[in-house]
Amino acid sequence: MTDSHAHRDLQGGRARGVAIAMFVALFGTGFVAPGASASNEPEPSSGVEVISDIAYTDPVPESTRGNLLDLYLPEDTDGEPTPLVIWSSGSAWMADNGKDGAAAIAEVFNDKGFAVAGVSVRSSFQVQFPGQLHDVRAAIRWLRSNADEHNIDQDRMAIMGDSSGGWVAAIAGTTSSTDQLPGEPATDGVSSAVQAAVPFFPPVDLLRLDEQTDAQHETYDLPFDPPFVHDAPDSPASMIIGCPIQTCPEEAAQVNPLTYVTGDEPPMHIFHGTHDSVLPPGSSQTLFEGLIAAGSEATYTLVDGAGHTVSDIINADSYEVFRANPGGQIVTGQEPAPTWDNIEQFIRSAFGDAPGEAPGNSGNAPGRSGESPGNSGSAPGRSGEAPGNSGNAPGRTGEAPDNSGNAPGRTGSTSGALVLVP
C-alpha cells in the first residue's frame, strides 16, 4: 500500500461504512434520467405496454429481486420486430434493483422505436462473483427465448448501464461470443450474445482502481476525497469476490471484463467523467485500450467535469472522443457528441441498420450506416499506435497489453486520463 493509500485508509477507516451506506442510498436505486429522481420516475409513454417483475430465472436466495426484469414494449410497431435496449442501474453491486432505472431509458428509447428491458442482478450480499455475470447472461437468454412473444428482434439487442450496471453491460459484451462459461448453468444452446454495449463509468480492473484514483486526483486536482478505498476489505470491489482484492488477485481478475476479450466483441461505446467521485476515468480508459488492443471496435468519450451520473454526461458541451482508426492509431475528436440521439445512432450502426431506417431518424447523424464518427484518421490529436493491436489477445488476465503509459506516441500514466502527444 502506498503512503497515500495508507493515509486515506487511516483517515477514512471509521467513516468508510457510512460512505458506503451513503453510496447505496445515492446510487442503489438505479439510474434515473433525464431530469427525474428515483422516487419520481417518469410514467411510461402512451402506446407503451409495461410488464413488470418477470422472473428470468429462479430466485436464489428466495428473497432476491435480482432475478427479475421489466419490459417496456412500444405498441405501434407495424408488426415489425423491435430492436431492444437492455438497461441495468448501478449500486456498487450492493442492491438487487438494477431494473428500476429502466423507466427513464424507456422514456427516451421507446419513442425511437426500441423495446426496453430493465434487468436486475443479485447483490454481493446475496451472491459473489460470478453470480452477477451468470444473472445478466440468463436474462439475455430469457429475452432471446421469449423474443417472438414480445415482438423483439433477437438479433438486434444492445445493453447499457451505469457504474456497476456499466460493468454489467461491459462484461455482457466481452462474454458475448462465449456460448458457455465455466460453472455457468446450462445455456441449452441459447445465445447470450448482444450486438452492442454502452457502459457508463464502469469498474473494470479492480486491482488498479486506487492507483487510477490517485492519478485522477493528480491530473485534475479534484476538490473532493474518494468515498472509500477500493483495496479495503469492506469495499464494494472486495465484497463482490468475498476477499480483499489485493490478497486475491486471481479472483479479482475474473471480475475484469477484459479477462474474457477475444477480439470478437460487439462494438462498445464507453463514457466517463473526469470528476467522477466514485470510479476513476482510468477504469474506462483501461477497458477502451484493452478492446482496441484485441482488435475490437471501441469508442471512449471522456467528459470534462462530469461526475458519477449519466445526466452529467448526456448533452455535455466539453468532452473528447477517442477511437482507433483503421490503421490502429488512436485518434481524438469531437464526434459524436454525447447525446441520446448519437447513442441511438451508434447502436443502430452496430446492428447494421441502413440510414433513415429508424422511425423519425433522418440518417444524417454522425456514425450512421456503419461508419464510425471521426474514424477517418484525420481527426485532431492523432498520435501513436494502439499498444499490442494484433487482434490475438485471448486468455487475457485483466490488464490491457502494454498498458504502462510508454507505448509509442503516448505519454503519462494510463491509470489517469488518456494523454496523447498532439
402 belongs to a structural domain: no
Show the cell assigned to 392.
Answer: 490475438
381 belongs to a structural domain: no
Confidence at residue 245, expressed as pLDDT on a 0 to 100 scale: 98
In the DSSP assignment, the letter for residue 272 is E
Return the SS3 of 4.
Answer: helix
- Asked if the model's pLDDT at residue 24 lies above 90, the reply is no
401 belongs to a structural domain: no
Confidence at residue 326, expressed as pLDDT on a 0 to 100 scale: 86
In tens, the pLDDT along 39-57 reads 445 566 679 999 999 999 9
How many Å apart are CA 367 and CA 372, to the nearest integer? 5
Return the SS3 of 375.
Answer: coil
pLDDT: which is higher, 340 or 16? 340
Mean pLDDT of 289-299: 96
Confidence at residue 353, expressed as pLDDT on a 0 to 100 scale: 87
pLDDT: which is higher, 75 or 397? 75
Question: Who's near 273: CB < 8 A, 6+ residues apart?
Answer: 201, 281, 302, 303, 304, 305, 306, 307, 308, 312, 313
pLDDT: which is higher, 289 or 366? 289
- Asked if the model's pLDDT at residue 25 lies above 50, the reply is no
Confidence at residue 5, expressed as pLDDT on a 0 to 100 scale: 41
Q: What percent of the chain has pLDDT over 90?
A: 68
- Asked if the model's pLDDT at residue 4 lies above 80, the reply is no
Confidence at residue 77, expressed as pLDDT on a 0 to 100 scale: 79
Return the SS3 of 52.
Answer: strand
Confidence at residue 368, expressed as pLDDT on a 0 to 100 scale: 33
Radius of gyration of the chain (CA): 20
Mean pLDDT of 163-180: 98
Mean pLDDT of 256-276: 98
Q: How confident is the model at residue 415 (pLDDT cuts 50, 70, 90)?
A: very low
**Of 34-48, 159-173, 403-417, the least confident:** 403-417
Confidence at residue 46, expressed as pLDDT on a 0 to 100 scale: 75
347 belongs to a structural domain: yes
382 belongs to a structural domain: no
φ/ψ (deg, to 5) at 107: -60, -35
- Asked if the model's pLDDT at residue 414 lies above 80, the reply is no
pLDDT: which is higher, 383 or 316? 316
- Asked if the model's pLDDT at residue 159 lies above 90, the reply is yes
| 246: amino acid identity, one letter | Q
Q: b or e along 321-343 (b: 16 or more beta carbons within 10 Å of the residue's beta carbon)?
A: bbbbbeebbbbbbebbbbebebb
In order, the DSSP letters of 79-117 are: TPPEEEEEEE--STT--S-GGGGHHHHHHHHGGGT-EEE
Total domains, the chain: 1
Q: What is the extent of the structural domain holding 318?
A: 3-370
Return the SS3 of 269.
Answer: strand
pLDDT: which is higher, 365 or 98? 98
**Of 32-46, 95-109, 380-394, the least confident:** 380-394
How many Å apart are CA 86 and CA 12, to the nearest integer? 36
Q: What is the pTM of this model?
A: 0.80
396 belongs to a structural domain: no
In tens, the pLDDT along 201-228 reads 999 999 999 999 999 999 998 999 988 8
50 belongs to a structural domain: yes
pLDDT: which is higher, 347 or 386? 347
Q: Rank 15-19, 341-345, 393-397 by mean pLDDT and report only the highest.
A: 341-345
Confidence at residue 55, expressed as pLDDT on a 0 to 100 scale: 98
Q: Given phi > 0 = left and psi -120 to 50 = alpha, else beta, which region is 357?
A: alpha
| 138: amino acid identity, one letter | A
Show the cell assigned to 11.
Answer: 483517515
Round the average pLDDT of the chain to a whole number and report it.
81
412 belongs to a structural domain: no
3-state secondary structure 152-178: EEEEEEEEEEECHHHHHHHHHHHCCCC
Q: Residue 160 sits in a domain of what CATH number? A: 3.40.50.1820
How many Å apart are CA 131 and CA 125, to the nearest integer? 11
Q: How far is CA 303 from the centre of its chain?
A: 15
Confidence at residue 222, expressed as pLDDT on a 0 to 100 scale: 93
Q: What percent of the chain has pLDDT over 70?
A: 73
CB distance 128 to 240 below 8 Å: yes
Confidence at residue 272, expressed as pLDDT on a 0 to 100 scale: 98
Which stretches of 169-326 are assigned E, i.e. beta strand?
A: 196-200, 268-273, 298-303, 319-324
CB distance 319 to 334 below 8 Å: yes
